[in-house]
Amino acid sequence: MKRLDGKVALITGASRGIGRGIALCLAEEGADIVVNYRSHPDEAEQVAQAVQRLGHRALTCQADVSDRQAVSAMMATAVEHFGHVDVIVANAASQKHAPLIEAKWEDDRRTFDVTMFGVYHTCQAGAQQLVRQVTSGHPGGKIVIISSLHNEIPFATYAAYNMCKAAVNHLGRTLAAELIRYHINVNMINPGWIDTPGEREIFGDAIIDAGAARCPWGRMGRSEDIGKAVAYLASEDADYVTGATLLVDGGMKLASSVLSP
């Protein structure tokens, strides 16, 4: 018996990177998967095929999470296809970094629209669906927000992204308080520096390949590190955990203490 047998999980931004790792880890634990993507249909289909090879059902669903109507339609499609949704993972994000005095508004606005408002839309639509299910006799569900160490450390040149991540953590705590009476858990994960295609596009292979030397654990984080953490929070093992933030950063937050004399 796997921890997520019979569950359906919807993961935004699941075609690559952290989202892909989450989708595969949840499938390994027994879940059927809704693979949301915006602009990588081939990679989304590859994730769906990997889920199916693990013996579970998969549905690819294109939607830009910054679009409220698209998110609502995605949720309705998932429920129509599977009959219910049990786990909502708000993972999709967007970022461009520059000093605030040089930042382009169109870049920061896109960051806000996806990384903050996209999480809001996903969590609201997911919470509404989970509450409907609870009131009709279905067990409570789980919402997991993928935030960032940027919520805790104001990294320079990331003002918009830092702001978004701080906001979504507080959103998660608020939603957790509102959904307690339904026994719907809401928790956040703060990843550290994770080796993903997106990070390689931003920084280049040389910087990412050298990143392990800057990580106290001796290696970069991997998408499956976050996926395993989500699997825990999505399972009955975490039924008494809500409104919490799980730091999965290989000790990055502790780096100043580790390196001090």
How far is 255 from 147, CA to CA, in rounded Å? 19
**Helix or strand run (H / E) with residue 127:** helix 117-135
Residue 49 CB neighbour total at 10 angstroms:
13
Listing DSSP states for 15-35 in one string gives: SSHHHHHHHHHHHHTT-EEEE
| Integer CA distances (angstroms), 30 to 33, 200, 234, 249, in order | 10, 31, 11, 26
Residue 240 annotated in active site: no
Q: For residue 7, report the phi and psi dihedrals to the nearest 5 degrees.
A: -95, 155
Q: Of the listed 37, 158, 161, 240, which one is catalytic?
A: 161
Query: Which residues are annotated as catalytic?
Result: 161
